[in-house]
Every structure is written in C-alpha cells, then in structure tokens.
Amino acid sequence: MNFPRIVIAGISSSSGKTTISSGITAALTKRGHKVAAYKCGPDYIDPGYLTLAADNPCHNLDSWMLGKDAMTEVFFHGLKNREIALVEGVMGLYDGYSGERPGGSTAEIARLLSAPVILLLNISHMAESAAAIVLGYKNLDPRINIAGVILNQAGSLRHYEICRKAIEKYTSTPVVGYLLRNKELAIPERHLGLKTTSEGGELASFIQNLAAHIESTIDIDRILNIARNAPPLPERPCPYLFPETPARPVTRIAIARDEAFSFYYQANLDMLSDWGAELCYFSPVHDTCLPENIGGIYIGGGFPEIMAAELSANQAMKTALTKAAEDGMPIYAECGGLMYLSEAIEDFDNNKYLMLGLLPGVSVMQKKLHRLGYTRAAVQNDNILSGKGTELRGHIFHWSKLPSPKTKPAYTLLEPAEYAGQNEGFIIGNSTNVLASYLHLHFGTNPDLAKNFIRVSKGFYAI
C-alpha cells in the first residue's frame, strides 16, 4: 500500500518540532489536504497543536509502550479518510528509551513505518558547522532516510544561505526551507512544557499565522513530493486493538474534558468507543452536574493545579462526583484526575484548595519535577481496568506529590530500576470501583483495559 508520509525530526528537544510540524500541517490543511497527524512518544500537549492544525484528532505513536504491531495498528487506524500522514518526532532523532535500549526513538518509528525524514536543525549559534551535524545524523544509521533539512532560528537570509550551501555541498541533502528568529512564532510554555490548546486563547489564529510564515519560507511542494515518494507501507497488522466493525454501544462513559483535564490518548477514546462505549463529555470546572444515564467516568490528566480555585468552588460537581463514587459507579482517574480525587491541592504558592476527598491526603505541587519516565508495572490487586498479575506499560510525568494513603495499592512498579518494588495507584470505594494513579496508560498496551472498563460500566448502567 502506498501512502504519502513524512516524519519531522529534530536534532534535540526544543528545536522547534511542534512549531514547524504544526505550521506545515496547517499549511497542508489550508491547501485542502486531509492530514493524518501523529506525535512520537507519550506526550499529550503537542498532539493538541497538531489536532488544531489538521482539524482532525492526532494520534500518539510509541514503539516502547505499544510495541511494533500495536503501534503500526494505531498508525493505520489514524489514516482513515486521510490522504497524507505527518509524524512529529520526539526529542532528538535517535533519542529513545536508553542508549542500550533505543526503543521509542523517532528513528525507530520512521524505520518501522518506512517513512522519509525531514531533519530540523536550530542554526542560531552556527554556520558551516551545520553540515557536520547533518552528515553525522545521516551516517549514524543508513537505514534512516533523511530526505531533507529545515533550518530554524536563522538570523538572516544570508545566514540561512551560508548553512544551506554547506549542507547541500557536504551531505547532498536538500534544504527545503527555513524560519527566521521570530518571538511571535514561539508557542507559550509552562511547567509541563507548552501551554495546552484546551486553555483557549488565540491559538487558532496563532496556528494560521504560523502557517502563513511557513508557506513563505518553506517549500511545501517539495515536502509533498518527498512524502509522495515514500516506499510502500509495511504490511497492516491483523486487527487487535480496534474491532473490524465497531460494536454497538452497551453503556455510556463520561469523559472529563476542559481547561483542567485534557490529557487523553486519542486511541484510548477510540478503543472505548469502538468496543461498545458511547462517550459523552463534561467539564468539572464549568458544569454543575454529570451527564445523564452514564455507567462510568474517566478523568484524565492535565493542569488541575492551574484551575484549582475553580474546581474547588464548583461544589455541585464535587457533590455529584462524590455521590457517583459512593453509589458504586466505576471511576478511572489518571495523574491530574488523581489530584482532583484527593482531599486538596496545594499549589506552587502554598495555597490549598479543597477537592473531592475520595482519596486521603493532599496533592502538593513541588518546586521541581517529581517523577518522569517510561514505567512498567504489575497489577497488584484486581481493579476496574485490569486483573492481578497483568503487566502494563505506561508513562509518568508529574510535579505533584501525594503522601501514600492507606488504601489498597493498584500496581507494583517493575521499571525503572530505581522505583522497582514501589506501590503505585490506589483502589478506593466500598466496592473498589474507583482507580486513581499517576501512571498514564495507553490502552493499546492491552485492549482488555478498554474492554474491562466497558464491562464494569455496563454493569452499573446498560443501554
């Protein structure tokens, strides 16, 4: 199967991947192309920008969490009704799980998808030396097809031309465009990285302005040509994560989505929907009641600490959620959702805001990142998503700390080594119907996660 596709990779983090990937995606969309957008790795924020730019949900591709076949299935799933795929890389091109175990790198994903790579290089502090960097990236792994280069943060047109000529002379790789230094093109950041698109503002106009800049200095037609000359796709895996025909809805699951909670893998939502859950959405910040006739609730991660005052003040929603938990409704809460279920959130300025109180203890924001990285875990006790003994892969990234309450633990951490043997996650409620954890799970690691959540939700309310 032939399908145009391209990977936008950087030589490091903070090289401008999201800015340029979003701008190219928006430029292609503006021209009428239906773009399937993807983000390598476990990040939640960058996909929001790609979703906005493509006007279509972005999927995460993570070869460490999912493995080759499941990751490839997610890729094919995202191609439905699209005509070109753009994949934004993670960190530097060759950066993966570790030096000895390079799984999860942009290079590995590009290789698994047989996709050509456009290498993005920040040239703000170099000139001809840019050629040496590109040459090194090309020679490190000849299996990776670096088909073009984009130069970011050029000081002037003359600066760009010096770098372009050196790269094309010494590497025989075409430079397909550049961006000049421009603070107006910088995406706003906060403690977890870029601001989320769920926080609103003028992001739609920002994306369109970005697309206009991209089109003026980057050769979109040349990028299209590179994408169209990609080799045939690898064989499509047998359906495993998604049924060939979506199941008829058997229950309704309410998804918390607003400025406070927006961290969801699109595949998680699609798997729930395709395996039999009708999804509906609500806002813990703005709504005063839950959607009617629901069998379960999913509260993802996000920035509850930024909206802590508003969440605390919405007593009607807190009461509705507490009652749902007491009634035995299945509730799954990840990271920010876990914080919302705790007694209170203490923000960076030591202000304390009362939350649901379903989970004993106060979630305290730390001055530095508390924990970050890929994680393997074994299920220690049966819960609404998984059975005892199941092994899971996920990702942890949080600034808050919650003193371990005396509740039934959900998981035992297996990896990384420094956390091996530690408990993670909490099972609460009289009928153990509430699961809260800092561990972000991609349901593609095990489709039973989605199926089990649907099963227990149907047990509470069936359509």
Q: Catalytic amino acids?
A: 335
Please state, in angstroms and as integers, the Cα–Cα distance from residue 66 to each residue in 40, 55, 71, 203, 228, following that order.
Answer: 12, 25, 5, 31, 27
Give the Cα separation of 46 and 25 in Å (integer). Answer: 13
Give the Cα separation of 402 and 359 in Å (integer). Answer: 10
Give the Cα separation of 369 and 438 in Å (integer). Answer: 13
Nearest CA-CA partner of 62 in 52, 54, 73, 48? 73
Q: 22 with 207: CB under 8 angstroms?
A: yes
Q: Which DSSP letter does residue 235 get?
A: P
Q: 51 with 69: CB under 8 angstroms?
A: no
In order, the DSSP letters of 339-400 are HHHEEEEE-TTS-EEE---SEEEEEEE-SS--EEEEEEEEE-S--SS--TT-EEEEEEEESE
Q: 263 with 46: CB under 8 angstroms?
A: no
What the block records as the tokens of 176 is 């397909």
Strand partners, 177: 150, 218
